[in-house]
Amino acid sequence: MNNENLEPLAFDNEERLQPLSFEPQKPVTEDDFVPLTKTNTTEIKSKDSNFVFFFGTSKSGKSVILSSMLYYLSSQAGVLRPKIGTPNTREAQVLLSNFFENIRQGILPGRTTRDQVTRLDLVFEPNNRSKKVVPINLTFLETSGENHNEIKRGGSYHSSIDSYISANIPLTFIIVTGYESAHKEDTVINEFLDELERKGKNLKAINVILVVSKWDKSGKMNVVNADELDQFINERLSRTSQRIDTYGLSKTYYTIGDIQSGGGEERIGLLSLATAEILSKWLYHSIVGYDLDYEGTFWERIKFSLVK
C-alpha cells in the first residue's frame, strides 16, 4: 500500500563524502547489461523478489539514482550482495563493482542500452538488530529513456519491458524527472501511469513515487520545506500533480551532490548520499512496513541497552 508522502529533508547536518580520485570514464561493455528480449512472463512470476522499476526519459538521472541508492544501502545501511542462483549473478556482481568504484571516484554511470533491461537480483541485509527489520530480496530494473518515449501517443513498450509490467509480481515504481526537463515530461509521465492502469495496476494500491532529480540545478542542494517541492510539481507537472494528490502517491527530490562540468563531461565534485538515504528508506518501508532505523520492540530495546 502507499505510504505517506515524503517530506524533503534539509541537508544542514549531512555528512559529505569526498571522491578518492578522478579517472577517465570507463567504456560501457555488454557485461554491464542483462538483455531480456525474450522474457517469459510465467518465469518472472515464479521469482521470489521485490521488483523496483525505474521510469524516466533519456538523461533524467535514473542510473545515478540507482547507483547511489545501492551505494548507500551497502555502505551505510547494511550488506548488499548479488542473489546466488539467479541467471545474472555474475553480471550483477560486475555492475555493482563498476557502480561502487565509479561513484567513489566521482564518475557518473553510463547510459543504459536501448531495448535492454538492466536487471540486478540482490539480497539486502540491514544492520538493524531488530527482528522486525528483516533481510529482503530486491530486483532493480532500469531501462533506456528512449524506450520510455515509445509509449507516447498510444505506443507500446519493447517486449523485454512489457513482460515485467504485465507480470503479476510485487512492483514498486520510481518515476524520475529532471529539474530542468520536468515541464517537458508531464504528458509522458501520465501516459506511463495510464499504461500501468491498462495493465491492471491499481495506482491507489501499489508503491509509486515521483522523484525530481538533479535538484542541484536549482542552485540549492535542498528544499526549504515540503511546500517548495509541491509548488514545483504543481507548476511544472500540473497533470502529474493531480494524479499524485488524487491517488495519494509519494514524492521527493534528489541530488547526488555537487556536479562539476569540464571537457564535455560531468563529474561528482562532492558526493552526498542524503537523498539516497531518504529514497532507500522509503523503498524499504514500503515493502516491509517497518523503518530501516526502527528502534525495536519494547523487549528488544531493553536487550539492546543491556549489551551496549
**What are the tens digits of pLDDT across the range 133-165?**
999 999 998 877 666 666 666 666 666 778 888
Please report the pLDDT score of residue 213 as a whole number: 96
Q: What are the backbone angles phi and psi of residue 71, rounded to the nearest 5°? A: -65, -40
**CATH code for the part of the protein at 16-306:** 3.40.50.300
Please report the pLDDT score of residue 214 as a whole number: 94
- Cα(95)–Cα(31) distance, integer angstroms: 8
Cell of 293: 532505523
Q: Of the candidates 82, 87, 1, which has an alpha carbon nearest to the alpha carbon of residue 47? A: 87
> Which pLDDT tens digits describe the chain residue by residue (308 residues)?
555 455 444 334 444 333 333 334 444 444 443 333 344 443 444 358 999 999 988 888 888 999 999 999 999 999 999 988 887 777 778 888 888 888 888 888 766 656 567 788 999 999 998 999 999 999 998 877 666 666 666 666 666 778 888 888 899 999 999 999 999 999 999 999 998 998 889 999 999 999 999 999 998 888 888 899 999 999 999 999 999 999 999 999 999 988 888 777 888 888 899 999 999 999 999 999 999 999 877 666 666 566 55
Please report the pLDDT score of residue 25 as a whole number: 43
Instruction: Give the start-to-end residue ranges of the domains of the chain.
Output: 16-306
pLDDT in tens, 56-105: 888 888 889 999 999 999 999 999 999 888 877 777 788 888 888 888 88
Please report the pLDDT score of residue 144 as a whole number: 72
Please report the pLDDT score of residue 190 as a whole number: 93
57-67 in b/e form (b: 16+ CB < 10 A) is bbebbbbbbbb
Please report the pLDDT score of residue 155 as a whole number: 66
| Number of residues written out for the chain | 308
Please report the pLDDT score of residue 304 as a whole number: 59
Cell of 292: 530501516
Amino acid at site 11: F
Please report the pLDDT score of residue 30 as a whole number: 40
Phi-psi group of 15: left, alpha or beta (phi > 0 → left; psi -120 to 50 → alpha; rest → beta):
beta
Helix, strand, coil shares of the chain, percent, nearest 5, are 40, 20, 40
